[in-house]
Amino acid sequence: MPRLVRSFVSFTMFCTTLVAAVGCADPPAARDAGADAGVVTPQTGPPATAMGDALAAAGLDPAALPPLGALDERARAAVMDTFTRALGVGCGDCHEADYAVATPRTRIAAKMWERLVRGLARRDGGALYCDSCHAGQVTFLDRTDPRRDGALGRWMQASYVTPLERRDGAPHDCATCHGSPFVGGFLDDWGAPDDAPDGGDGGDGGDGGDGGDAPADLGAPPDLGPIGCEALLVCLDACPAGDGSCTGVCRRRASAAAKALLAAADKCASDACIAVKRCRSASDDSAACNACFSNASAGGTTGVACVPPDDPICGACAAEWLACETS
């Protein structure tokens, strides 16, 4: 099957370095009506924490927080209280009855503490904390805006990359969270046990810590799960040619529906090009076959021009590829 690199694919999480087509500059609306997530804007990024006094009362400096495992009982209780207020949850939303048992959400919280809360800061020096982004909600990104417009991808770049920096001095970019190669659903990896296969190298972002006696793990928010077809396509396109390990990670992270959509789009383009004798087989990687495959996957409602524009194969599988890119 020809390797397809589609410059118009836009996974709407962080990176405009991986997103070529971005259009809408407005930040997406909060998922829950009336929520305060709009406090994060492309002009300012996440605001400095409003929980500085609560942390200070527990002897903690929000600009120099220790690892979770280093917190004493008093400080840990205060931190857990700020978690419930910052995310609008109760203890049981994240913990099992036995608080020593790690859950996906407590693992995610531990990694967010290390990589984001301890690992990042506003470029103007302001301290970040859970409330800076969550503003009373577990989930706060609206992913329903059209992917092709790139609204969320552009907003994330402007809000969470440009205004922030890593405290360890390393460059801050999408890979701080999403890893390299880019993994859209990185929180699935963060919520997995430490011995589970990793979806990418997310960079240091701090030492990570093991959480000590604190539960190393928050249960995954309901919108977290296997990545969709568009994210799968972006992940595959980010892999170096011939890197089976990389593409394997992408496919393992994809939902069955995503893999089915991508397979249908691939088969449509391959079959169309084989039928007109421009590809010898589904594994043909010649320049002529690749050109046919790309044009069969473009045109129509994809908004992507065929080269040349009058190629008879243009748009033959546009519907199949659009179904993938919008899922």
Look at residue 85 in the predicted model and tell me its pLDDT.
93
| Residue 125 confidence (pLDDT) | 86
3-state SS of the chain?
CCCCCCCCCCCCCCCCCCCCCCCCCCCCCCCCCCCCHHHCECCCECCCCCCHHHHHHCCCCCCCCCCHHHCCHHHHHHHHHHHHHHHCCCHHHCCCCCCCCCCHHHHHHHHHHHHHHCCEEECCCCCCCHHHHHCCCCCCCCCCCCHHHCHHHHHHHHHHHCCEEECCCCCCCCHHHHCECCCCCHHHHHHCCCCCCCCCECCCCCCCCCCCCCCCCCCCCCCCCCECHHHHHHHHHHCCCCCHHHHHHHHHHECHHHHHHHHHHHHHHHHHHHHCCCCCCCCCCCHHHHHHHHHHCCCHHHCCCCCCCCCCCCCCCHHHHHHHHCC
Q: What are phi and psi of 121, to 5 degrees?
A: -150, 160
Q: What is the pLDDT of residues 17-76, one digit of tens each?
A: 222 222 223 333 433 333 333 345 444 688 999 999 999 999 999 999 999 889 999 999
Q: Given pLDDT bands bounded at 50, 70 and 90, which one contains residue 277? A: very high
* Rounded mean pLDDT, 282-300: 87
Selection from 156-160, 215-219, 237-241 with the highest mean pLDDT: 156-160
Greatest CA separation found in the chain?
Answer: 74
pLDDT for 144: 57
Least confident range from 141-150, 162-171, 275-284, 304-313: namely 141-150
Q: Residue 267 above 70 pLDDT?
A: yes
Structure tokens at 274: 């084989």
What is the percent of the chain where pLDDT is above 70?
Answer: 71
pLDDT given at position 299: 87
